[in-house]
Amino acid sequence: MLHKSEEKLPVSWKKTLPLKHFQIGISFLLTHLLIILVSELITNYLAFQGIYNSFVLSIGLTLCTPFLLGFLFNYTQTNWKKYSYVFLYAILIGYFIIGGYYHPDCNLPYSSALLFSCVYFLAALIHLTDLLVNPKSEHFRFQLSVNISLLIYNILNGIMTPFHWAYMDQYLPSPELIADINYYITISYYFALDLIFIHEIRKLRKS
């Protein structure tokens, strides 16, 4: 239905649609990253004050996840796959509510890090299957680059972060190697997204 309705649009409108989709997608991703940044700053501040900060992480993920899923939703063409993002988000919210992880005294278990990575990984995988079926999708390489970054990051993050949190749950200092690897994985992910954004914006300016 979406493709049929687009075919009836004037030519000038058809030319602006890809740009609008790109602008919406970038806005979603940048908002997602901004909320993560604010959440991390608050979390680190509370940690230095010796205050439980798991509830901040829960709230941060609740707020930032819709924007990441919104980016994937914006480019996904298959309806049932669009609904699957809503289902994945419902799983995340249900986990926080049932576990009582919005309470200031809550302490997220180390296994929850694996759940978060699985939700993001599955969302990215669903988007990838839709993207590969439609190789002529607008901004195909941009979508593919973001998607691969998401998949790789969540595989590595799903392995390393539970180990890092497991030591904290036992009030033990995390081994320096694990902490460093976890840190550089996150930094590399955000740096890769920045490069992808800059490259795509420069390409659009030249076109």
pLDDT digits (tens, 9 = 90+) for 33-79: 899 989 888 887 887 777 767 888 899 999 999 999 999 999 999 99
Residue 4 resides in a domain: no
Residue 5 resides in a domain: no
Does 175 or 85 have the greater pLDDT score?
85
pLDDT for residue 13 is more than 90: no
Look up the domain containing 171 and give its range. Answer: 16-206
Mean pLDDT of the chain: 84
Q: How large is the average pLDDT for residues 168-195? A: 79
Q: Which of 194, 193, 160 is nearest to 179 (CA)?
A: 160
Side-chain half-sphere CA neighbours of 163 within 13 A: 15
Q: Is 70 helix (H, G, I), strand (E, B) or coil?
A: helix
pLDDT for residue 137 is more than 80: no
Question: What's the pLDDT at 138?
Answer: 75
Question: Measured between alpha carbons, how far apart are the two ends of the chain, in Å?
Answer: 29
With beta carbons less than 8 A apart as the criterion, state whether 169 and 107 touch. yes
How many degrees, rounded to 5, is the angle at CA 138 between CA 133 and CA 141?
75
Residue 174 resides in a domain: yes
Please, which contacts does 38-42 make with residues 24 or more away whose CB atoms are closer than 8 Å?
A: 39/63, 39/64
Q: Which residue has the tokens 């004037």?
A: 10
Residue 23 resides in a domain: yes
Residue 2 resides in a domain: no
Residue 67 resides in a domain: yes
pLDDT for residue 1 is more than 90: no
Q: Which residue has the tokens 């289902």?
A: 87
Residue 3 resides in a domain: no
Q: How large is the average pLDDT for residues 187-200? A: 89
Residue 7 resides in a domain: no
State the Cα–Cα distance between residues 59 and 147, nearest whole angstrom: 24
Q: How many domains does the chain have?
A: 1
pLDDT for residue 2 is more than 50: no
